[in-house]
Structure 1
Amino acid sequence: ELNAIALVLGIFAGLGAIVFGKMIELSKHFFEIIFQRGFLGALSIIIIPAIGGVIVGPIIYKYCSESKGHGVPEVMYAVMANKSDIRKRVAFFKTIVSSITIGSGGSAGREGPIAQIGASMGSTFGQFFKFDEKKKRILVVSGLSSGVAAAFNTPLGGTIFGLELILTNFSPISVIPIALSSVISVSIARTILGPESAIRAATFTFNPAEIPFYMLLGAIMGIVSFFYIKGFYFFEDSFEKIKIPFYVKPAIGGFLTGLVGFSFVGYGVLGGGFEGMNAALSGQIGLTLLILLFFAKFLATSFTLGSGASGGIFSPSLYLGAMLGGALGIIFEIFAPNVISSPPAYALIGMGAFFASVAKVPLTCIIMIPEMSSDYSMIPTLMISVFVSYGFSALLLGRSSIYMEKLNKKISTTKSFSKDLSDVTAMDIMTGDIISMEPDMPLKKFWDYVKKYKKLGFPVIKDGELIGMISNSKVKNIDSKKIPFLKVRDAMSPPSYVRPYDRVPKVLSIMDERQCGRVLVIDPSSKETIGIITKSDLLKAYRIAKNIGDDEDKFKIAEEFEEEISHVSHKIHDKLKWPKIK
């Protein structure tokens, strides 16, 4: 059963990767036609990434906060803390905002978004078939792996990436659906797009005398990866501290990205960067420019993703490895001209060594780089550089990586958020103005109440006693022809309630357990309904917990609240048993 679903998932992931790639091309073409051929001329290189940010910022803010950033940490969080459940809308909005970000010149890759899109598809399949958490996790990893595999044309590399990064403890039975979906997705992509790889490298020649230089390359990559990760999150933290609405920040990041890329057009500083990688792999870039491109790509990527736009970190990391590796190859040749056989080969090995230390996925890089270049003779040398770089990175960062740093931030913020809310009571945030309906009222009056009171749900009270709750989500699913013949009692649900001195974590718990958008507050002595708490009231709890005044930035507060509340609600007191009100 799981293998059959994985096969279908591979088809969807392969088609999704193709559609996503075409949307990036369409987005790029659109911006070129509208702006580059207009009166702005060369200045459009600076303006277009900013315009992309103007578009994606509000979309992320209003519709899907999970679609910002580089995608993979969000999948890891869903697997670790959210029972592998990913909202169905993530795949759609991640496709939209990432294609606009990359197409407008944002420095980001397509692999992270495709991985998140595939994982979202896998989660959707798991939720649809009501699988347990273990099976859903396998489908999420299958979707992630098949997305990466289709993006890079690397079925084995994509499979190992998912296993090494997320499903670290696995059995052969769990590997089969992941490998199957990856193979199918790559087959679909190759059938439609052809077998050509994204990178083109010269044939690799192995010289045993160069082993010390490849070890030195690995050591330098491991050390530099430490500063890269710390620098990347320094910029992200700096953007978070800027007191402006979130949806404005991607535009600022886009503008700064355009400024950086303005002087390096054609070298891949803007966009995914494959043209720059291929130039480095063919030896077309000199030492000084390689170093400049390394720093330019680092800044452009930090500005794009650190500001909250959407895209992957995979391709930019490969780009940085290629530039630094190519530069080291030239330097090594200067000191040992009779030993170094091909300086561009160091760019290719550098790609694998750098990403292995950045993402802590050495096996993935040992398999994926040869798959991408269709040259497997490099594997012994690549293994040397990768293991050395991984070792140095482990010494400096421990088990952390560019993905784990983001994941740890989300987890620590969630714990802090939950702790803060434990001091806020239902009484502190409830709305005391109760509009109720009676059970024998005609159901058609519900819509009159909605229009009159601007609310989507009402408690149902008879003789002063709460007996139920009626909401828009329930009534709208009733056949409109039947509504004139029904009473309110026919559409009401059992009430969800808390006591006035219960803490907000209990409110979150029951909202998640009952999948409801409002909770009533009941006086335990008189059984009287004294208030109601909706999801919007929880923003007040957030203000109280964080000691935020009403005059502070509402957009920033709402953004923080929306992101955190979605990750906390299902975790708190999920085993509480609630008495029923009769």
Structure 2
Amino acid sequence: MMFFREYERIYLYLLSVLVGVGGGLGAVVFRALTEAVGGFFFTDLLSRAPSPLFVVLLPVLGGLIVGPLSHLLAPETRGDGIVRVMEAIHRSGGSIRTRAGLVLICTSAITLGSGGSAGREGPIALIGASLASTIGRLLSVDPLGRRTLVLSGLAAGIAGTFNAPMGGAIFALEVVSRRISTSEAVPILLAAVVGKAVASSLIDPVPEFVNPSFIFTPFDIVFCFLMGPIFGCLAFLWVRSYQVIDDWFAALPISPAIKPALGGIVAGACGLFLYGYGIMGVGYGGINTVFEMAHSSPTDQLILLVLVLAIAKAVATGCTVGSGGSGGLFAPTLYIGTMLGLSFGIMTDRIFPGLVANPPDYGLLGMGAFFAGAASAPLTCIFMITEMTGSYAALPALIISCILSYSAADHLLGGGSMYTVKLDRQGISVGRPAAVLEGVTVDEIMARRLVVISPETTIRKVRDLIFEHNVSGFPVVEKGRLVGIIAFDDIRMVPQDKLDVLTASDLATRDVVTVTPDRSAKQAMDLLYANRVGRLPVVSPDDPGRIMGILTRSDIIRGYETRVAGKPPGNASVGHPPFYPPP
């Protein structure tokens, strides 16, 4: 048995290497395709336009193409790709249609290339995850292994994009999986390293952002204690703002095929008035432009500019992704955090002159703190920014600001993040036990084989059956109808001379707490704890007297464990005694 388990582990590691190669290649191909589409829109088309003002129409044109493609071929490619991966992980055990990855390559490249405000990390994550899911399906990998492969593909894509294997692996575990285990961490990290190596061998691994000096004084550390909670609150505002925009577009009484074009109007307008600062597209070039301005001339006017850029990017991104455009929230969140961080650093230097070592360095601190709060991912930010900059000098300040921001945002968001708020409202669990149990029905986990007794059964017989079947009690059934329930607590104080005199009818609880098969496991668990009982008879919703099964705490726990493992709960009849008709 140990040999086969070891073989399965090595097999999964080999598959994770294969997935890592695919994820790294996917990151490179998608990046090249996005740049090619961008060249077509912003060079070929715009050069033929009668006025540069026509730049505002480019995202609209992109939306008119993307909307029908997504609507007709793969509706799951609308919005953020990482959210779709999380939905697949926590709802269907990592199963993602191959078509989704193929359609997403086209729709995301058009969204970003035409000037839509979004990130390429979300699409790359879904592309890598879709490839991994396809490999797992073709090779008949079990659901738990397929889930791990999907996370590995996502990590490889992120690692290949940012040249940050640790950051990609931690992102997959911390943000998407929402739990960290050794069995998942090893293949995921292996895939991330391979993905980064493949991407680096094909394109020059130049850092995405201007490498800062990272000169910090003890006063800078003190300012980070202030910066963290502030950025946690700002991250909360960003998540809620995006949620409002997303809800507004969802409520529009028009076809989803048209909505991305409406979002493109807003993105194009914001990009027109702030052209050259990265409002349109991914925005990394705009981050570097502002970094250079901050290093050369950190003026008061720059404070106003970066605040305007942060607001404009938030609005443009909300309308692009919230309307159904294909793209991610990852890069825009980094952009907004950078602008807010620069404003914080420059303003702090104005208020406390001479105490801030280098105000522009707060741009990357803000990037990390803001994303840590919005994505509920402090570890991801700490590792990723350290890898991207190649410097450990900022580690103390980064740890403080990211953890405090995460703590504040986590409290305000109730444990959610910008990736989970939409899933939570759809009833999709994202790793928290209560949310998982909401997605499991009583019908899936109840025991259909059970022992029942008649009201005439003596207490001695009831006691013997309890010991024989190792249960805490039985339903009492008369003429096929549930009339009560009797538990060991009801009979344990009965004197010996009364065991053959008293019957189940004398001691059974008549006011029985029941549950129907259509209720959630979370609702059933609440009933168990509220009434301090160990089991619930499951009755027909149309006929409350007809018993259909029994549900215990063990059944609920088993259902939770199988669901988070990516498997369907199934009927929990194993381990329960067979059905005995009333004597």
Question: TM-score, structure 1 length as denominator?
Answer: 0.71
What residue number does 1:276 align with? 286
Shift of 1:172: 2.7
1:338 aligns with 2:338: no
1:291 aligns with 2:330: no
- Structure 1 segments of 4+ aligned residues over 4 angstroms from their partners: 412-419, 570-576
Q: How does 1:228-239 map to 2 (within 5 A)?
A: 228-239=238-249
What residue number does 2:408 align with? 392
CA 1:338–1:307 in structure 2 vs 1: closer, same or farther (change >3 Å)? same
Supply the distance in 2 between the matched residues of 1:311 and 1:189 (Cα, whole angstroms). 20
What residue number does 1:25 align with? 35
1:306 aligns with 2:322: yes
Q: How does 1:49-448 map to 2 (within 5 A)?
A: 49-282=59-292, 283=294, 286-411=302-427
Deviations 1:251-281, CA, capped at 9 Å, x for gaps: 1111111011111111001111111211333
Number of corresponding residues: 430
Shift of 1:206: 1.7
Shift of 1:308: 0.5
Identity %: 38
Shift of 1:201: 2.5
1:42 aligns with 2:58: no
Residues 201, 348 of structure 1: 8 Å contact kept: no
Q: Aligned letter for 1:114?
A: I
Deviations 1:374-422, CA, capped at 9 Å, x for gaps: 2221111100101111111122112110011021123269999999xxx
Residues 94, 310 of structure 1: 8 Å contact kept: yes
Residues 280, 347 of structure 1: 8 Å contact kept: no
Residues 35, 41 of structure 1: 8 Å contact kept: no
Supply the distance in 2 between the matched residues of 1:99 and 1:319 (Cα, whole angstroms). 19
Supply the distance in 2 between the matched residues of 1:201 and 1:264 (Cα, whole angstroms). 24
Supply the distance in 1 between the matched residues of 2:567 and 2:205 (Cα, whole angstroms). 45
Shift of 1:304: 0.3
Deviations 1:161-181, CA, capped at 9 Å, x for gaps: 111123344443432211111
Deviations 1:207-253, CA, capped at 9 Å, x for gaps: 11222211211111100111111110101111111111110110111
Q: Aligned letter for 1:299?
A: V
Supply the distance in 1 between the matched residues of 2:439 and 2:171 (Cα, whole angstroms). 32
Supply the distance in 2 between the matched residues of 1:206 and 1:82 (Cα, whole angstroms). 47
What residue number does 1:552 align with? none
Residues 129, 154 of structure 2: 8 Å contact kept: yes
Q: Which runs of 5+ in 1 are unaligned?
A: 420-503, 505-569, 577-582
Deviations 1:356-382, CA, capped at 9 Å, x for gaps: 000001000001011112222111110
Residues 261, 270 of structure 1: 8 Å contact kept: yes
Supply the distance in 1 between the matched residues of 2:425 and 2:24 (Cα, whole angstroms). 32
Q: How does 1:490-529 map to 2 (within 5 A)?
A: none
Supply the distance in 2 between the matched residues of 1:412 and 1:80 (Cα, whole angstroms). 7
Q: Which runs of 5+ in 2 are unaligned?
A: 1-10, 430-434, 442-517, 519-565, 573-583
Supply the distance in 1 between the matched residues of 2:190 and 2:78 (Cα, whole angstroms). 29
Deviations 1:500-554, CA, capped at 9 Å, x for gaps: xxxx9xxxxxxxxxxxxxxxxxxxxxxxxxxxxxxxxxxxxxxxxxxxxxxxxxx
Residues 70, 310 of structure 1: 8 Å contact kept: yes
Shift of 1:571: 11
- Give the 3-state SS of the residue equivalent to 2:326 in structure 1: coil
Higher-Rg structure is 2
Shift of 1:39: 2.9
Supply the distance in 2 between the matched residues of 1:208 and 1:417 (Cα, whole angstroms). 49
Residues 427, 439 of structure 2: 8 Å contact kept: no
Shift of 1:93: 0.9
Q: Aligned letter for 1:106?
A: G
What residue number does 1:493 align with? none
What residue number does 1:495 align with? none
Q: Aligned letter for 1:195?
A: P
- Give the 3-state SS of the residue equivalent to 1:247 in structure 2: coil
- CA root-mean-square deviation: 2.6
Supply the distance in 1 between the matched residues of 2:438 and 2:166 (Cα, whole angstroms). 39
- Give the 3-state SS of the residue equivalent to 2:289 in structure 1: helix
